[in-house]
Amino acid sequence: MHLRPRSRRAEGPWHGNPALIAAPLALIALIVVLDLWTGKSIQLGPLLVVAPAITATFGSPRLVALVAALAVGAQLVLSAVLGGVTTANHEAQIGALLTISLFVLGFRYAHERHERQLGRARLVADVIQRYLLRPLPQRVGPLRVAAVYVAAEAEARMGGDLYATARTPDGNRFLIGDVRGKGLPAIGSTTLLLGAFHAAAHRNPPLARLVAHLHNTVYWDTVAPSDEPDNEEGFVTAAVLDVPDEEPVIRLISCGHPPPLLVHRGRVTPLTVRDPALPLGVGSDMEADDYEVETFPFEAGDLLLLYTDGVTESRDARGVFYPLAERVTAWRERDPQRLVQRLHDDLLHHAGGTLTDDAALVAVLRCR
């Protein structure tokens, strides 16, 4: 895992764009020259307060303090030349400039402190989110895997969509899901379901028993006493798959989730189950017998694409849904990593740069 922390401002007072730093200095010089040129008839000294105020929009507190000191020094020079520092008028100007400069400096210091705290909080959240939504291994058994995730929440890496894989003694288990809702409540449900999947999938229970366990985890969480108004309405659409190493098949249970796409010899086919189950968490406590496992061919060279409805329901400016199957058919891309990256870029372009819902894609290629 490689994290790149947010860059912090350098501590030196001259950190920043030289052109921006020159602007308040040039303003101070210009005001001094004009004030000396106009004489006592027009007093421009009060305008010096603009220099530290401008500096506060881009500079560090030390740079703001330096510019404020230069502005006060310039005011003292003007006062001495144009009538004396001890006159009531100039004393008022100097006092006002000092007061406003101190206020601006305090505001800039508080703002920078808040930025540092926010940066640390974002870094911690980034680590937690990367741990929960673990990067999928590029190679598991006879499979090559790649995934991409786009969260609708700004600055987030994880929202209401989820995916995971777990290695078993004879194959791999995959989970992709979409939690109802957005924001922190959705992240909480995502965390719960991912934890349940990783804890149970490695024990290699039958697929139907695994899905029943996931359902009951979500169900009992929603019926537990809570102060959250929407807690009782939580559910997750999900597809849970078993891909054995030695059999060229996929075993699938769909719980109200969009059908995976199978690419076989250039032809894209949705793996639509005959009897989809209810979303996880809907209904009551479930047993393994309540779920039907359906089997589909998955031969060497075939590619499987899992996705959430944030992909297929993304609209362009004209309201047209994203044509996922058509894109996969037209591109004929076989490399999972290149495929999900191309789909990611094309999806954002289709949606105008931002999505209104979380979106996840997982591509799985059987190599043998």
Edge-to-edge strands, sheet with 294-297: 161-168, 171-179, 236-244, 249-255, 294-297
Measured CA to CA, the distance from residue 165 to residue 180 in angstroms comes to 21
Query: What tens-digit pLDDT sequence spans the chain (368 residues)?
Result: 333 334 444 444 445 567 788 889 999 999 989 888 887 777 788 899 999 999 988 888 999 999 999 999 998 888 888 777 777 777 888 888 999 999 999 999 999 899 888 878 767 766 666 666 788 999 999 999 999 988 776 555 566 789 999 999 999 999 999 998 666 667 778 888 999 999 998 889 999 999 999 999 999 988 776 666 555 567 999 999 999 999 999 999 999 999 999 999 989 999 999 999 999 999 889 999 999 999 999 999 999 999 999 999 999 999 999 999 999 999 999 999 999 999 999 999 999 988 888 899 999 999 98
Distance CA 17, CA 8 (A): 15
Q: What's the token pair of residue 85?
A: 């520092």
Looking at the domain that runs over 133-366, which CATH code has it been given?
A: 3.60.40.10
Q: Cα–Cα distance between 248 and 296 in angstroms, integer? A: 9
Locus of tokens 């997982």: 362
**Could you give phi then psi for residue 254, rounded to 5 degrees?**
-110, 125
Q: Which two tokens stand for residue 75?
A: 């005011």
Strand-pairing partners, residue 253, are 240
Contact of 172 with 166, CB cutoff 8 Å:
yes
Every domain of the chain and the residues it spans: 18-127, 133-366
Q: CA-CA distance, 282 to 234, in Å (whole number)?
A: 8
Question: Tokens 């400039």 — which residue?
Answer: 97
Supply the pLDDT for residue 151. 75
What's the token pair of residue 38? 């106009």
Assigned token pair, 250: 């996929």
**Cα(311)–Cα(348) distance, integer angstroms:** 10
pLDDT given for residue 3 in this prediction: 34
pTM summary value: 0.70
Q: How far is Cα 186 from Cα 308, in angstroms, rounded to an integer?
A: 15
